Structure 1
Amino acid sequence: MFDDFENVRDLSVLEVPAVGSLSATGSKWDPYRLLDPQGRPVGAVAAYFSDLLAAGRSEATVRSYGMDLLRWFRFLWAVEVAWDGATRLEARDFCRWLAITNRAKGSGRAVPYSVSVRVHSETVLRCFYDFHRDVGTGPMVNPFPLDRSRRGGRAHAHHNPMEPYRNERAGLYRPRAIRRIPRNIPDAEFNQIFARLLSNRDRAMVAFYVSTGARASELLTVTQGGVDPGRQLITVVRKGSREMQELPASSDAFVWLRLYQVEMEGQIPRGRTRPLWWTRRKPFRPLTYHAAHRMFERVSADAGASATLHALRHTAAYRMAQDPAMPLTDVQFVLGHAQLTTTQIYLTPRKEDVIERVLAHHAEQTRKAAEQGPPPAAGYRPETLDVLFARSRRS
């Protein structure tokens, strides 16, 4: 009965062509469609997307899930296995393939799939097959099974509330996530990037990002009526809950915003419900996330840095968390975290600060050693040398 397991697929020679696509439709009822190599919609994915939207998931979530499903379907097309005929062997080989293959980035270089991408992919595919199993349109056995410790019960079912939670794996093929310290931008590096911004619009956006801690997509939801310079507040739509929330921003951000508005006076549509951020070239269109991300990526590269647009949120969070006059619960509210434990990661010392403090410690030790001078040679009494060189001994 182990014949199938002994027939191991040679992943080293497997080629997975970039066929099919995830197409944006522009419709709020059906925002994205997964198309097969012939350009036909994949019905199984369309049904799953409808279920996600009915559960209140955002279009951004549907797109994110769609990219994971596109990767999986490309693998199935390459190995010539139907999606509803996939077994645990295909799931295992797919997870191995993600771990060893490289993907092309926007810069043209090939990099391995990160652990976070593989974790997200495993979760999405397990939920996809759970959905089709429940409605009776997919295989009776999920190709992406739960970890053995999770079968037959929920996570932490017998957890002692007096003890910390253990990091349990949900899926059998789910890689262990590495706890990473959020990537913030040092002040000197941020100043170099800010000095290379080419327009008042870009300066205003970066100033709002680094002072409000809003997510990159959230700041782009601000409308012209959602700006209150008198109270130094802007109103964003939260990514997860889709609720509107006022966020305080620095006075500099509103100064740059006013300069941008004066420049665009009479060139863009006006109205309280109109978007606040627009493209700089005609025909003027509302600014998208990918355009904003590309703008900051290009300026960061010109400054010789590798900072991302999302790093501005981490930078704002670190600055607020390190202010002793600002409670951590206030930081949690501004960042929109559901759990305080998520905000606590910004109390972790930054690498740059640790290095600076340790180097200062070594410099202080060197200075003290120089003040004390070399140790006396054998036969000399230290107190006699102190009198000779007029050195006072500390008690």
Structure 2
Amino acid sequence: MQPFRRPSRRAEYQPREPRRIPRSIPDQAFNELFAGLASHRDRALVAFYISTGARASELLGSTRSLAVPEDQLIGVVRKGSRALQHLPASADAFVWLKLYQHQMRELVPDGPDEPLWWTLRRPFRQLEYDAARMVFNRANAVLGSNWTLHDLRHSAAKRMIRDPHLTLTDVQWVLGHAHITTTELYLSPAQDEVVAQILAHHARQRAEREKPPAPPAPGYRPEVLEALLGPSAPGGGNR
């Protein structure tokens, strides 16, 4: 007699659901979103998100000493491992950060262990996730979009994946993924990317068909080519 086996939650014949492709913000939509931000702080924060791929909570937890402009690095404490990791960031992010810090000079504490991000209204407090999300939602409301802070992380990952000079393990390290298979999700193109690529393919095909035929090489008379190749020969047909 076969031993009793407890039925599994998933039928054996049922295929495993594919993992969803992370949603990223197209470049044009990001530019519009960035243009809608109202303060140097918000521009600095979003510039760091899009250039480092850090999680929202990781970047919000950074202190002043963890921002190192001369090396273009910003330190974050990773969500899972709780390890400190210094991430490369864009030069633009540090420019916006400098403008924001100048604006807040003498308004908030500037010790090395003080928060990097503060609310902009009194009483000044460390910027929390919900407040940062509301900033993003206000920009969304102007544009009629529904992007999230986490979409910025996905967008940063997609930008890095598209760079042929970066390896998959480079991107894995920056994103702090424990497994390379998680990073591989960003290799799959989104539907709008595929559509754009195929439309560009059709445009190239049409342009190729509409090119005028090349003239015959010197020394070949058009009537000879027409006799050999037919009326479609270069220089043949209606003369």
- TM-score, length-scaled by structure 1: 0.51
1:148 and 2:7 are equivalent in the alignment: yes
Q: 2:230·2:236 contact (CA, 8 Å) conserved in 1?
A: no
For 1:263 and 1:321, the matched residues in 2 are separated by: 35
Give the distance between the partners of 1:199 and 1:265, measured in 2 at CA. Answer: 15
1:320 aligns with 2:147: no
The aligned runs of 1:268-283 (5 Å cut-off) are: 268-283=108-123
Q: Which residues of 2 match residues 359-374 of structure 1 at below 5 A?
A: 359-371=199-211
Displacement of 1:186 in angstroms is 0.7
Give the Cα separation in 2 of the matches to 1:275 and 1:382. 81
Counterpart Cα distance in 1 of 2:159 and 2:118? 29
Q: TM-score, normalised by structure 2?
A: 0.83
In structure 1, the partner of 2:231 is 385
> 1:226 is aligned with what amino acid?
L
* Equivalent-residue separation in structure 2 for 1:391 and 1:256 (angstroms): 64
Secondary structure (helix, strand or coil) at the match of 1:218 reads: helix
Q: What are the ranges of 5 or more consecutive residues in structure 1 without an aligned counterpart?
A: 1-146, 151-168, 170-175, 374-380
Partner of 1:261: 101
Structure-to-structure mapping, 1:224-263, within 5 angstroms: 224-263=64-103
Contact 1:297/1:309 (<8 A) preserved? no
Q: Is the 8 A contact 2:44 2:97 kept in 1?
A: yes
Residues 63-99 of structure 1 show CA distances to partners (whole Å, capped at 9, x for unaligned) of xxxxxxxxxxxxxxxxxxxxxxxxxxxxxxxxxxxxx
Identity over aligned residues, as a percent?
Answer: 55
Which one scores higher on RCO, CA 8 angstroms, separation ≥ 6?
2
CA RMSD of aligned residues (A): 2.5
Pairing 1:19-38 to 2, within 5 Å after superposition: none
Q: How does 1:1-395 map to 2 (within 5 A)?
A: 148-149=7-8, 169=10, 179-371=19-211, 383-386=229-232, 390=235
Amino acid of the structure 2 residue aligned with 1:148: P
Q: Deviation digits for residues 91-129 of structure 1, max 9, x if unmatched?
A: xxxxxxxxxxxxxxxxxxxxxxxxxxxxxxxxxxxxxxx
How far has the Cα of 1:386 moved from its partner? 2.8
Question: Residues 383, 221 of structure 1: CA spacing in aligned structure 2 closer, same or farther, 3 A cutoff?
Answer: same
SS at match of 1:385: coil
1:302 is displaced (CA, Å) by 1.0
> 1:178 Cα shift?
5.1
Q: Which residue of 1 aligns with 2:13?
A: none
Shift in Å, 1:217: 0.6
Q: How many residues matched?
A: 216
Provide the rounded CA distance (Å) in 1 between the counterparts of 2:203 and 2:236: 22
Distance 1:305 1:382, change over 3 A: farther
Residue 266 of structure 1: how far off its partner (Å)? 0.4
Paired residues of 1:318 and 1:346 also in contact (CA < 8 A): yes
Residue 271 of structure 1, CA deviation = 1.1
Distance 2:228 2:98 in 1: 70
Q: How far has the Cα of 1:206 moved from its partner?
A: 0.2
In structure 2, relative to structure 1, the CA distance for the partners of 1:292 and 1:384 (3 Å cut) is same
Residue 190 of structure 1 aligns with an amino acid whose one-letter code is: F
1:391 positional shift: 5.3
CA shift for structure 1 position 307? 1.4
Name the SS for the 2:177 alignment partner: coil
CA 1:391–1:306 in structure 2 vs 1: closer, same or farther (change >3 Å)?
farther
Distance 1:253 1:382, change over 3 A: farther
Output the CA distance in 2 between the equivalents of 1:213 and 1:242.
Answer: 16
Match of 2:173, SS?
Answer: helix
